[in-house]
Structure 1
């Protein structure tokens, strides 16, 4: 079992409103996936698109959440604000460090 990054780059008409719903989404991820959810970062790219990076304990947890969460009513306020998804991938973490 290896850590997995979920990488999603997408459009959003109102990034500030999306960010305001982020804490609720993170709470739902912690509640539903427990220790399989390791953390997340939301960023704005130079072209204005948004980038969501979520760290999972395994590829199975990442795949399960990718399937379940977009239609979950508890996270609906977040997902309704996402426009076109430009790219979504899962990647195995080969090396990690912290400052």
Structure 2
């Protein structure tokens, strides 16, 4: 089986998320690491770069802990915020 390029992996992660085949924690970790550490940004369109960068930043700050959100308001992103960003990307890029 052919290994995914980082760009292909980002799209694959979005598809897994959309079909609920990956949990929120793993999605956020994998998306953040793939975008920030593995991706050659020159291989992305300017729109992909903008959308993926925004999601990767939010994914890096995701916490499913209510205590985190209560103790540090506006520091961590929520499941709803991540889901909304993924939905926006899916619409914008016709995934």
More strand by proportion, 1 or 2? 1
Determine which structure has greater relative contact order: mean sequence separation of CA pairs < 8 Å that are 6+ residues apart, divided by chain length.
1
When normalised by structure 2's length, the TM-score is 0.28
More helix by proportion, 1 or 2? 2
